[in-house]
Amino acid sequence: MNKTVNQKAWFFVIPVFVLVAFNAIIPLMTVVNYAFQETFGNNVFMWEGTRWFKQIMLSERFHASLGRQFLFTFIILFIQIPLGIAIALTMPKEGVGVPVCLVLMSMPLLIPWNVVGAMWNIFALPDIGFLGHSLNALGFDYNFTQQIGDAWFTTILMDVWHWTSLVVLLSYAGLRSIQPAYYQAAEIDGASRWAIFTKIELPKMKKVLTIAILLRFMDSFMIYTEPFVLTGGGPGNATAFLSIDLVKMALGQFDLGPAAAMSLIYFFIVLLVCWVFYTLMMRNEEKS
């Protein structure tokens, strides 16, 4: 759409700008304040320069939780995106099946995150949980509170359970927007199912898939409540992702300086990845 230049449009944006600035800029400045200074309470600050940043960048603890975070996010995207597309492709396109599928599949998205964690905790307990009990009955030695592998398996399974539906909904919406004429043309040409998928469906889903990947990246990178309730970051530090580690440092140990420096580095990483995605997305949109 060709837009007209109109500077008065700013008046429409002001309420949003004020509300978000109120929430974003003032607290962010507080974080910046802590990141460069040392405090002993009572509003007494001492300038520390980049000391906290150096300390965080060189700390093994940060490297470890950053590594875990990237591994987790990568596994999540690798499972959820293809699985979501596959489910969207096999979903019914009309009839009573559509609302049934949509309502049931959206359920996990609307459960408070700590309830998701508590639910999976109860579900996976080795003695009284359905998952834990079944796995042990099948001969696996499963205990997510004590074994690192099991803790990761349970956390990933929980996230797949929780968020795959978002990818399904988005892909499904993308698929629905394809005109029937495309499929008819493909049928006349005698195209294989695979060819239809790669030549028609996938290119048409590109836009919604970018959004799905972006949202899943952001949210899995910020994950806190569910693993906190499920495993508490344990066993040991095995599932202490960035947010869990950060809250532990800021509110648990009250190391405000390093925690603030870590916050800024953390935020910067998310921002960088999202900026790359966003630019690519906008470029695609301008092309089409």
Q: 57-96: which residues touch another protein (CB under 8 A)?
A: 86-87, 90-92
Which CB sits closer to another protein, 152 or 158? 158
Per CB under 8 A, does 202 bind another protein?
no
* Binding residue for another protein, selected from 102, 156, 200, 213, defined by CB under 8 A: 102
Which CB sits closer to another protein, 57 or 282? 282
Closest to 116 (Cα-Cα) out of 217, 242, 229:
229
Angle at which helices 256-287 and 10-35 pack, to 10 degrees? 150
Q: Is 147 exposed, middle or buried (0-12, 13-18, 19+ CB in 10 A)?
A: middle
Question: Please, are residues 212 and 167 in contact by the beta-carbon 8 Å criterion?
Answer: yes
Number of residues lying near another protein (CB under 8 A): 94
Q: Which stretch binds another protein (CB under 8 A): 52-60, 70-78, 145-153, 243-251?
A: 243-251
Least distance from C-beta 9 to another protein, angstroms?
4
Which CB sits closer to another protein, 6 or 42? 6
| Residue 235 β-bridge partners | none
Question: Please, are residues 77 and 213 in contact by the beta-carbon 8 Å criterion?
Answer: yes
* Window 154-183: residues binding another protein (CB under 8 A): 161, 164-165, 169-170, 172-174, 176-177
Which CB sits closer to another protein, 152 or 249? 249
Least distance from C-beta 42 to another protein, angstroms?
14
Is the alpha carbon torsion for 143, 145, 147, 153 positive or negative?
positive
Q: What is the DSSP string of 173-231?
A: HHHHTS-HHHHHHHHHTT--HHHHIIIIIHHHHHHHHHHHHHHHHHHHHT--HHHHHHT
* Window 109-138: residues binding another protein (CB under 8 A): 109-115, 118-120, 122-123, 127-131, 133
* Window 206-225: residues binding another protein (CB under 8 A): 207-208, 211, 218, 221-222, 224-225
* Binding residue for another protein, selected from 66, 209, 242, 261, defined by CB under 8 A: 242
Per CB under 8 A, does 148 bind another protein?
no
Query: Which of helix, strand or coil describes residue 275?
Result: helix
* Binding residue for another protein, selected from 271, 276, 280, 284, defined by CB under 8 A: 271
Question: Please, are residues 88 and 164 in contact by the beta-carbon 8 Å criterion?
Answer: no
Least distance from C-beta 60 to another protein, angstroms?
20
Q: Print burial letters for 243-255: b (CB count within 10 Å at least 16), e (below 16).
A: bbbbebbbeeeeb
Per CB under 8 A, does 276 bind another protein?
no
* Binding residue for another protein, selected from 135, 230, 250, 261, defined by CB under 8 A: 250
Least distance from C-beta 70 to another protein, angstroms?
14
Report the largest interatomic distance among the alpha carbons of the chain, rounded to a whole angstrom.
77
Least distance from C-beta 196 to another protein, angstroms?
14
**Cα–Cα–Cα angle for 219, 167, 84, nearest 5°?**
125
